[in-house]
Structure 1
Amino acid sequence: MAQRVLIVDDDTRLSAMLADYLSGNGYTVHAAATAAAGLTDLGRIMPDVVILDVMLPDLDGFETCRRMRVVSDVPILMLTAKGEETDRIVGLELGADDYLPKPFNPRELLARLKAILRRRNGSAAVSRVLRFGRLEIDAGSRSVRIDGDECVLTSYQFDLLVALAENAGRTLSRERLMDTVKGEALDAFDRSMDVHMSRLRAAIESKPKQPVSGVTV
């Protein structure tokens, strides 16, 4: 079954070009020109991944990302303005899994989509539960619980937590984590790993009882 891609971008020419390109590579593509339509399609289509532009006519991509995260853990690739580091950081803080500055090469976008889906599908295919004190990580169902209560993480944050859990007790550099989780080298000016780590720490340390032991983030 072809994997479903939802494009949320008011640039209809770009969306049509991407739809043609991705369809030619085996994906089923749906496009929405507004945030409202994208949020509706998220529940209707149940996409495997979302391509979300920052600039939308009704809601901006940041608020749209935040609202998507309330109802879904679908991987989100945000399209940002070239050189706008702030946009990229804000998008990651709100739950995006990756970002791509405009203009971009469609081949790079395809490569990033494949990497996102490979991480998600690869982790889902492994049936095992990792436990560290109060923390329980179910790789098969891609769920995390603290004291039995579910902890909501983005797809990237989950993969990052699994990488840390599988290397518990070891010191991992930012470069090693990027290579393990994302499958690519870390750019010297790339702050995405710091943002993901900060968000992951906030998520799993939000419970007030006592610190989660065994996994250092």
Structure 2
Amino acid sequence: MKTIMIVEDEAAIARVLAAYIRKAGFDCLICRNGSQAVESFHSAQPALVILDVLLPGMNGWEVLQHIRRKSACPVIMLTARGDVGDRIMGLNEGADDYITKPFEPDEVIARIHAVLRRPPQSLVSSDQVTYGSFRIDFKSRSVFLNGAALSITPRDLSLLLFLAEHPNQIFNREQLIEKVWGIDYEGSDRAVDLAIKRLRKLLLHWPPEEGEIRTLRGTGYQLYANTSD
């Protein structure tokens, strides 16, 4: 079950949102301030965050910046302000949508479904990335290890490129099938496990301190990449 994180300091609003979100078939986690949201985000691995702008202490913009440094998780900003400037700022900072209070809970659920149907934002801003001895050229759909081009089947390559576009972000099998192979895919979800196994074999000589494809038991897969200088 997908988890929606609500970051809202007004208890009444948080309770109403949580009730509608659970009724829509999602799990729900409520954080009452920005610091709690930042602390809980990586362990909770939410499918989407509803983030109030006006929070005590760390405000919503700061929380959004923290999320965007490491994750493309969808974020819907929530605020009492009707200023168009706030909306533009939120979208420029990487928010996926924006809802102004007061709102209809049914509209929020509709926005959640709409945002989750979109392809996730890429955290990669260039045509090529390099993680030590591993280089990916997204434009030519080519990958290189120690300077040598790797031969990969188209389906496995699509999976690897998707993970590389979202370094250090965790995806479960269902998400990978939907985002990489399409919702019309009719094969077993175990195909993801087999594809990951083949990719690991190809990347066997990629030093783990530079990066690797990791399994997070009970959660999913990620392409861990050491992005430190």
CA, structure 1 residues 63+107, in 2 after alignment: closer, same or farther (shift >3 Å)? Answer: same
1:17 corresponding residue in structure 2: 16
How far apart, CA to CA, are the structure 2 residues paired with 1:4 and 1:120? Answer: 18
Shift of 1:142: 7.0
1:6 corresponding residue in structure 2: 5
How far apart, CA to CA, are the structure 2 residues paired with 1:102 and 1:135? Answer: 46
Tell me if structure 1 keeps the 8 A contact 2:20–2:106.
no
Tell me if structure 1 keeps the 8 A contact 2:49–2:73.
yes
Aligned to 1:52, the other structure's residue is in SS state strand
Tell me if structure 2 keeps the 8 A contact 1:52–1:79.
yes
Shift of 1:41: 1.3
2:29 corresponding residue in structure 1: 30
How far apart, CA to CA, are the structure 2 residues paired with 1:83 and 1:103? Answer: 10
1:110-189 to structure 2, matched below 5 A, reads 110-120=109-119, 132=139, 140=159, 143=162
Output one character per residue of 1:61-113: Cα deviation in whole Å (capped at 9) or x when no partner: 11110011112111000012342111111111111111111111111100010
How far apart, CA to CA, are the structure 2 residues paired with 1:53 and 1:142? Answer: 33
Output one character per residue of 1:9-29: Cα deviation in whole Å (capped at 9) or x when no partner: 101110011111111111100
2:211 corresponding residue in structure 1: none
Shift of 1:141: 5.9
Tell me if structure 2 keeps the 8 A contact 1:9–1:31.
yes
Tell me if structure 2 keeps the 8 A contact 1:80–1:88.
no
Output one character per residue of 1:105-136: Cα deviation in whole Å (capped at 9) or x when no partner: 11110001001112248xxxxxxxx9645999
CA, structure 1 residues 88+29, in 2 after alignment: closer, same or farther (shift >3 Å)? Answer: same
CA, structure 1 residues 109+14, in 2 after alignment: closer, same or farther (shift >3 Å)? Answer: same
> Partner letter of residue 88 of structure 1?
R
| Structure with greater helix share of residues | 1
Show structure 1 runs of 4+ deviating over 3 A.
130-136, 138-145
CA-based RMSD? 2.9
Output one character per residue of 1:35-78: Cα deviation in whole Å (capped at 9) or x when no partner: 01001111111100000000000111111100111121110000
> Partner letter of residue 67 of structure 1?
H
How far apart, CA to CA, are the structure 1 residues paired with 2:142 and 2:83? Answer: 36
CA, structure 1 residues 4+87, in 2 after alignment: closer, same or farther (shift >3 Å)? Answer: same
How far apart, CA to CA, are the structure 2 residues paired with 1:77 and 1:45? Answer: 17
Aligned to 2:43, the other structure's residue is in SS state helix
Point out where structure 1 has 5 or more consecutive residues left out of the alignment.
122-129, 153-217
Greater gyration radius: 2
Point out where structure 2 has 5 or more consecutive residues left out of the alignment.
121-136, 144-156, 168-229
Tell me if structure 2 keeps the 8 A contact 1:5–1:48.
yes
1:41 corresponding residue in structure 2: 40
How far apart, CA to CA, are the structure 2 residues paired with 1:47 and 1:151? Answer: 15
CA, structure 1 residues 62+142, in 2 after alignment: closer, same or farther (shift >3 Å)? Answer: farther
Tell me if structure 1 keeps the 8 A contact 2:72–2:166.
no
